Amino acid sequence: MKTLLTLATLIFLPFLSNAQEVTCNDDCKTDLIESYLNDIVKIFVLGSKVDDIDTFLSQLHNDIKYEHKEYDADFTKLKWRKAFIRQHEKGFYQEQRRMQGKILNIIYGKNHAAVEYSYGFLDKDGHWKKDHVKFALFGFKESKISLVREYW
């Protein structure tokens, strides 16, 4: 009987701990990614401030990991902040057009989303014009973005 009770506990324990875990459904993931895309463009524009970087990063999970193999980027939140500030101080964020990030296509997986997106530009009439198309894998933990792996 004791063995049976132990076996039942081992079988159902993972289900109980997962039930208590905060989950982020597909709508939640979409909202987080849209917010990410729109908030990061505030950093790229002429006149952005370090506060814009901090506001952007504050919305991400504390254990966020940003990776971009082609650019040899493998950042924690602190390293990513330092990289943003370094680029900001060098004057790289000078975009003068009205930018907006948009999801073009998204595929959901367990705690992840594969996302095709673009940072497009709003013309004088407010119509969005797609720019270079990009692809990234986003991971989620505790209803926040915890991974951004870029493939462009």
**Alpha carbon distance 47, 138 (integer Å):** 28
Q: Which domains does the chain have, with CATH numbers?
A: 23-150 (3.10.450.50)
pLDDT tens column, 41-67: 999 988 899 999 999 999 999 999 999
| Pair type for strands 112-122 and 133-141 | antiparallel
| Top-confidence range, 7-11, 20-24, 35-39, 122-126 | 35-39
**Alpha carbon distance 117, 99 (integer Å):** 13
| pLDDT at site 21 | 52
Average pLDDT, the chain: 87
What distance lies between CA 92 and its chain's CA centroid? 21
With beta carbons less than 8 A apart as the criterion, state whether 19 and 128 touch.
no
Centre a 10 Å sphere on the Cβ of residue 35 and count the other Cβ atoms it contains.
Answer: 15
pLDDT tens column, 60-100: 999 999 999 998 999 999 999 999 999 999 999 988 888 89
With beta carbons less than 8 A apart as the criterion, state whether 116 and 103 touch.
yes
pLDDT at 35 over 70: yes
| pLDDT at site 97 | 80
CB burial of residue 113 (10 Å; 0-12, 13-18, 19+): buried
C-alpha neighbours within 13 Å on the C-beta side of residue 83: 14
pLDDT tens column, 92-115: 998 888 889 999 999 999 999 999
pTM: 0.82
pLDDT at 12 over 60: no
